[in-house]
Amino acid sequence: MAEIHQIEDQGQYLLDKLGDSILAVEIANIELTVKVAPESVVKILTFMRDDVNCEYTQLMDVCGVDFPERERRFDVVYHLLSMKQNTRARVTIETDEATPVPSVCSVFSSAAWFEREAWDLYGIFFSGHPDLRRILTDYGFEGHPLRKDFPLTGYVEVRYDDEQKRVVYEPVKLTQEFRNFDFLSPWEGMQQQLPGDEKVNLEEPREEANEA
């Protein structure tokens, strides 16, 4: 496991080499986080892969994070591993629903499926991707299910129609509407007086126990 001073030195090294392209460098849980602008992500990842003092040769994952309250609601997070340095790092960028993010397939071929997943589940568009299609949901699926404003029931449901002998899509139909409770927890639901409660007068002072 890398020491904290090694991570700090590497963060400073990246700032010295690519300071104009880096927005911020942070260290959390003994891992380096590099925040960059979307247009710089290909340059940053190429440098971190090829530079002898970095050698982050493995892209472990590309994932999305949704912050609906922000103007640029999505973070795209690239998780990197350096076997040579025995360190991990993440590169993050911010984007919105309409702004494309440059694909990094030319830097890491493993990014192809990761970017397809981020497109499928979040709707993050990657420009220059060779085959940006859905990868987990069906081709006729509507919306992007990991967005926080996506309904839990979805928009359509799928079933096999025995008469048509094919799979059909229909609007979601709930056999029972969601129930709304007027109390915060089940323990607050019982408001009526229980048998025997009428014998208790809480306003009377307690009698002191007789001393032995």
pLDDT of residue 189: 56
* pTM exceeds 0.85 for this model: no
Q: How confident is the model at residue 202 (pLDDT cuts 50, 70, 90)?
A: low
pLDDT of residue 19: 87
pLDDT of residue 33: 95
Q: What is the pLDDT of residues 172-193, one digit of tens each?
A: 776 655 555 555 555 555 556 6
pLDDT of residue 201: 65
pLDDT of residue 90: 95
pLDDT of residue 118: 97
Residue 155 or 110, more confident: 110
pLDDT of residue 147: 94
- Judged against a pLDDT cut of 70, whether residue 7 lies above it is answered with yes
pLDDT of residue 136: 93
Q: What is the pLDDT of residues 124-173, one digit of tens each?
A: 999 999 999 999 988 778 889 999 988 877 777 778 888 888 888 788 77
pLDDT of residue 72: 95
- Judged against a pLDDT cut of 70, whether residue 73 lies above it is answered with yes
Place of tokens 């059909």: 168
Do 107 and 49 meet the contact criterion of CB atoms below 8 Å apart? yes
pLDDT of residue 16: 93
Q: What is the pLDDT of residues 90-101, one digit of tens each?
A: 999 999 999 999
Q: What is the pLDDT of residues 9-67, one digit of tens each?
A: 999 999 999 988 999 999 988 889 999 999 999 999 999 999 999 999 999 999 999 99
